[in-house]
Amino acid sequence: MQLLSKIDINVQNVKTVFRREFANYFNTPIGYIFLGIFTLLINFLFFFITRYFDRGYSLQGLFDMLKLVYLAFIPVITMRLWAEERRSGTVELLLTLPFSEIELILGKYFSAFLFLGIALATTLLLPLMTYYVSSPDTMVVVGSYLGAWLSGSAYIALGLYISWLTRDQISAFLLSFLACLFIYLLGYQPVLQFFGPFKELLGFLSVSWHADSLSAGILDTRDILYYISFAALFLYLNKVSIQNFRRGN
pLDDT in tens, 101-120: 999 999 999 999 999 999 99
Domains contained in the chain, number: 1
In Å, the largest CA–CA distance within the chain is 61
C-beta of residue 54 within 8 angstroms of C-beta of residue 195: no
pLDDT tens column, 88-103: 888 888 888 889 999 9
Instruction: Measure the CA–CA gap between 67 and 62, rounded to whole angstroms.
Output: 9
Runs of H (alpha helix) within 89-206? 90-96, 101-121, 125-133, 138-165, 169-185, 189-192, 199-204
pLDDT tens column, 6-57: 456 788 999 999 999 999 998 878 888 889 999 888 888 777 766 665 565 6
C-beta of residue 116 within 8 angstroms of C-beta of residue 31: no
Supply the range of the domain harboring residue 146.
2-248
242 burial class (0-12, 13-18, 19+ CB within 10 angstroms)? buried
The residue type found at 190 is P
Nearest to 91 by CA among 17, 193, 200, 11: 17
Nearest to 31 by CA among 98, 77, 82: 77
Least confident of 77-91, 104-118, 230-244: 77-91
C-beta of residue 12 within 8 angstroms of C-beta of residue 99: no
Nearest to 40 by CA among 108, 119, 97, 106: 119
**If you count DSSP H runs as helices and E runs as strands, how many of each does the chain have, helices first?**
13, 0
Tell me the pTM: 0.89
Helix axes 138-165, 101-121, angle to 10 degrees: 140
Backbone angles phi, psi at 214, to 5 degrees: -70, -30
Instruction: Measure the CA–CA gap between 153 and 116, rounded to whole angstroms.
Output: 8
